[in-house]
Structure 1
Amino acid sequence: MFCLLCQFSGIAVFAKGTPYYYQLKVYHIKGKAQQDMVDEYLQNAYIPAMHRAGIPSVGVFKPLVADTTEQLVYVFIPFKKIDGFLSIDAALEKDQQYQQDGKNYLAAVYNKPPYIRLESIILKAFSAVPEYHLPKLSAPKGERVYELRSYESATENISLNKIGMFNKDEISIFDKLNFNAVFYGQVISGSHMPNLMYLTTFENKADRDKHWADFGPEYKKISGLPQYQNNVSKNVTLFVRPTDYSDI
């Protein structure tokens, strides 16, 4: 059974280190007042507090195309161990500087909340890439294009098959073509499971399009293999851009 699972998922075979755990927060906000409050909180309170807690890089991203009904803000937080995620709230409660800097957000009243809803997605890094990486880009943040993808699968085992496909084959193509991936992760807690997510980064939209054009021929070499058929039931692609205060 163990060997069968290894062959199917590819996860145990390619372990290269202790995997990071990632939290992806998704703020659903509406209107300038909420947008300003969340930006102020993240820039002046949350990110500095995370730095003090030993997390050097926090990513904040917003969609390239704004929704007319609500705005979204994505916050990416990497943890070396799951214990870091479990203990961070307690650390923030004890951080008096954070409590002071974030008081407008933290003490918001019920009829003037800083957001409509707040999602939290927890991911475990893939074995082939157990840590996150900062983008190696020269373009200003305001010109960059980041691509956040979510691949949903019909069942847990089929999702493991897709993760195995990444670990064995796809990630090497992304690396060869310099997709500047920040992370690859299996969602272990979220509202659209089973699924995986990953974030690639580009200088601009034209750079993104060229990379994917180059990816196609390489991907065709593996996409037709019988063991990888029908392992994605839904592909959600989001184009985002880092805020000027994002670490990533």
Structure 2
Amino acid sequence: MKIIKFLPLLLTLVALTNCGNPNPETTETETIPETTQDEREFYQLKIYSFSSEEQIAATDDYLKNAFMPAVKKQGIENVGVFKSRTNETDTVPKTFVLLPFKSLKQFQELESKLLEDETYVTAGDAYINAKFDNPPYDRIESVLLQAFPDMPKMATPNLDSPRADRIYELRSYESSTEKYYRNKVDMFNAGGEIPLFDRLDFQAVFYGEVLSGPKMPNLMYMTTHADMATREKHWEAFVESPEWKELIAMPKYENNMSHIDMWFLYPTEYSDY
């Protein structure tokens, strides 16, 4: 009878002894491997195309006075708004909006939360309720990305040149297959392209794997330069660097890119960077 009476007490003492270590076989010296998966941001790149100055002005007014203040209320900081520099092969004026998200849930909920914001709806009325025959843009292209493991969060460049002179170079790399695409992503991370860009002061804003977009498989990244002359010097140094020459000589990285698109952008006066 005495054994039965003290058995519950004995079991309680054993449980209290092990509560700090739920696995008695695990020692204090064992560690859980670190991962950056949960730390990697998601990005949405929205590309507005226009056919008139009136459209550009209407969308600028909306982005500056309605959209930017509203997304800040949702805890989304470091939003970039850029204008494209048109050229002979791309004469369509465009506005690029870059949004960072802490999670896919934050991305999914943004639109509905914006429409619940009365201040946003009022400030953006002309844009939100534009007539079908007078839209504030011709089309919006949306690209969803996730940050590279070796640069899991967006960075703000340190540039003091006039905004109109700055070069924000957005690049899109396509690959022939998913396997070659993963190889190119590996080239940036394990291969060391990101540290090389850092060493040469490219001041990258982000590197991202495209999760959903019109051109797949695809990665995109953005580097920044004080002006076009600085941009040319940076790329010359990159091409001539021993690290790059070693990388492109490796057989394992051959043929991992099939097409490149690039845009030269500059930040609007209301852009966060």
TM-score (norm 2): 0.83
Once the two structures are superposed, the pairs formed by residues 1-248 of structure 1 within 5 Å of their partners are 15=36, 18-65=39-86, 70-168=92-190, 169-218=192-241, 219-248=244-273
The alpha carbon displacement at 1:220 in A equals: 1.1
Q: Which amino acid aligns with 2:198?
A: D
User: What fraction of aligned residue pairs are identical, expressed as a percent?
Assistant: 43
Structure 1: 4+ residue segments shifted above 6 A: none
Structure-1 residue corresponding to 2:25: none
Q: Separation in 2 of the partners of 1:89 and 1:25?
A: 13
Once structures 1 and 2 are overlaid, which stretch shifts more, 48-57 or 124-133? 48-57
Residue type of the alignment partner of 1:196: L
Change in Cα spacing, 1:192 to 1:77, as seen in structure 2 (3 Å) is: same
CA 1:212–1:16: 2 relative to 1, 3 Å:
farther
SS in structure 2 at match of 1:41 = helix
Q: Deviations over 1:191-230 (max 9, x none)?
A: 0010100000010001101111110122112111011000
Distance change (3 Å), C-alpha of 1:149 and 1:174: same
Q: Which shifted more, 146-155 or 217-226? A: 217-226
The CA distance in 2 between the partners of 1:41 and 1:106, in whole Å, is 9
Change (3 A) 1:94 1:31: same
Equivalents in 2 of 1:124, 1:96: separation in Å?
31
Unmatched 5+ stretches in structure 1 = 1-11
In structure 2, what is the Cα distance between the partners aligned to 1:226 and 1:69?
Answer: 38
Matched pairs, number = 237
- Asked if 2 retains the 8 angstrom alpha-carbon contact of 1:177 and 1:214, the reply is yes
**Helix, strand or coil at the partner of 1:109:** coil
SS of match in other structure, 2:189: helix
2-side partners of 1:123 and 1:220: how far apart?
Answer: 29
Deviation at 1:70, TM superposition (A): 2.7
TM-score with structure 1 length normalisation?
0.92
Mapped contact 1:30–1:69 kept (Cα < 8 A): no
Cα shift at 1:71: 1.4
Counterpart residue identity of residue 180, structure 1: Q
Query: 3-state DSSP class of the match of 2:39?
Result: coil
Contact 2:86 2:92 in 1 (8 A): no
- CA RMSD for the aligned pairs? 1.7
Residues 15 and 53 (structure 1), Cα distance of their counterparts in 2 relative to 1, 3 Å cut = closer
Label 1:44 to 1:118 Cα distance change in 2 as closer, same or farther (>3 A).
Answer: same
- Letter matched to residue 238 of structure 1: W
